A = this chain, B = another copy of it.
Amino acid sequence: MSTSTPAAPRKRLPLNREKVLGCALQLADESGIAALTIRSLAQSMGTKPMSLYYYVANKDEILDGIVDLVFGEIELPSPAGDWREEMHRRAHGMRSALKRHPWAVGLLESRSSPGAATLRHHDATLGTLRAAGLSVQLTAHAYALLDSYIYGFALQEAALPFDGRDTAAEITIPIVERFSTGEYPHMVEIAREHVLKPGYDFGDEFEFGLNLILDGLSRSIPTTGPDPERQQHSS
């Protein structure tokens, strides 16, 4: 038996910064961000806690690093493509990255030094909007709006106690019964007539809001009128 410890070492020597961050991301995905400790990370890598400090200055640097890895997973939008398609693709790419790594959303609030992948992502997005002819000001507006929506949606998804299609029932039914027609009638109504319908998946709500926002943005671009063919995407 080469592995006597319960958590089998995942990678072997030699260590380096990339492996440390990669294992940290993997550990956060598997066991949650709270379980990502220096000691558990070292054990999962088959090394000792203090050895990691040769590659990272402190734990905060690890957290910065894995957030940047998440951004690195998102395909960059291209300034050559149609801005609306590019923004649509980017939004979905970002949401799915944050869905794969839900802990990243909570980390965003406390991170203040963005990594290279994060900066590249932001720059490519801004570049795509500018290339589409949006003014500097409108680009800033659009960017704040889109990112707010995406982050916020991911935050709500991460906070939901259920995840995926038709998984809401077992959590929702007892709650609905507890409050049935009592203090929170509208929540109960939404639960009964929307959330508990077969096939419900909160993730489906993303597309509605995204299209509504993209519709609104395309209407805000002075030269381009609202494309009648594309209009009312949402509904």
**CB nearest neighbor in B for A189:** B136
| Contact residue among B151, B159, B208 (Cβ-Cβ distance under 8 Å from A111) | B159
| Contact residue among B102, B144, B152 (Cβ-Cβ distance under 8 Å from A150) | B152
**CB nearest neighbor in B for A116:** B183
CB atoms of A205 and B155 under 8 A apart: no
Tell which of A6-14, A42-50, A216-224 binds the partner. A216-224
Size band of the interface chain A makes with B: 35 or more
Question: With A110-B106, A213-B213, A216-B216 in contact, is A208–B145 under 8 Å at CB?
Answer: yes
Within 8 A of B (CB), among A123-160: 123-124, 126-127, 130, 136-137, 139-141, 143-145, 147-153, 155-156, 158-159
Tell me whether A108 is interfacial, beta carbon within 8 Å.
yes
Question: With A152-B148, A152-B151, A153-B148 in contact, is A141–B186 under 8 Å at CB?
Answer: no
Residues of A within 8 A of B (CB): 102-103, 105-106, 108-112, 119-120, 122-124, 126-127, 130, 136-137, 139-141, 143-145, 147-153, 155-156, 158-159, 161, 183-187, 189-190, 193-195, 202, 205, 208-209, 212-213, 215-217, 219-220, 232, 234-235
